[in-house]
Amino acid sequence: DAKTTQPNSMESNEEEPVHLPCNHSTISGTDYIHWYRQLPSQGPEYVIHGLTSNVNNRMASLAIAEDRKSSTLILHRATLRDAAVYYCIQYIYGQNFVFGPGTRLSVLP
């Protein structure tokens, strides 16, 4: 079963920052947090992942809470192309990725 909870949907205005939350209250010290997004009619696309520290890449930033029980994916300036379903996945060492329902992000022009 998926170990994470996310809001079903969120809306953002174009060119504004978006903060997508995820709760993973059962996380242990070796579990990674991964984020993927899926655009319509495409396979999931890797966005970012991390263990303890905040992470940045060209697509997004990942802010992990100090107790690691929650994290936030930050898109710094949303564009229409960022409209997708965003999945937060708690990778449990020795197991495999289990996708939760995800958050459907709508970006308004």
Partner 1 sequence: DTEVTQTPKHLVMGMTNKKSLKCEQHMGHRAMYWYKQKAKKPPELMFVYSYEKLSINESVPSRFSPECPNSSLLNLHLHALQPEDSALYLCASSPSGEGIYGYTFGSGTRLTVV
Instruction: List CB contacts of 8: < 8 A, sequence separation 6 or more.
Output: 101, 103, 104
Tokens describing residue 107:
């970006």
Asked if 98 is part of the footprint of partner 1 (rule: CB under 8 A), the reply reads yes
CA distance 82 to 95: 29
Contact track, partner 1, 33-72, x by CB under 8 A: -x-x----xxxxxx--x-x---------------------
Selected from 29, 66, 81, 93, the binder of partner 1 by CB under 8 A is 93
Pick between residue 21 and residue 100 the one whose CB is nearest to partner 1.
100
Selected from 65, 101, 106, 108, the binder of partner 1 by CB under 8 A is 101
Instruction: List CB contacts of 70: < 8 A, sequence separation 6 or more.
Output: 21, 22, 23, 24, 25, 64
Residues that bind partner 1 (CB under 8 A): 2, 32, 34, 36, 41-46, 49, 51, 87, 91-93, 95-102
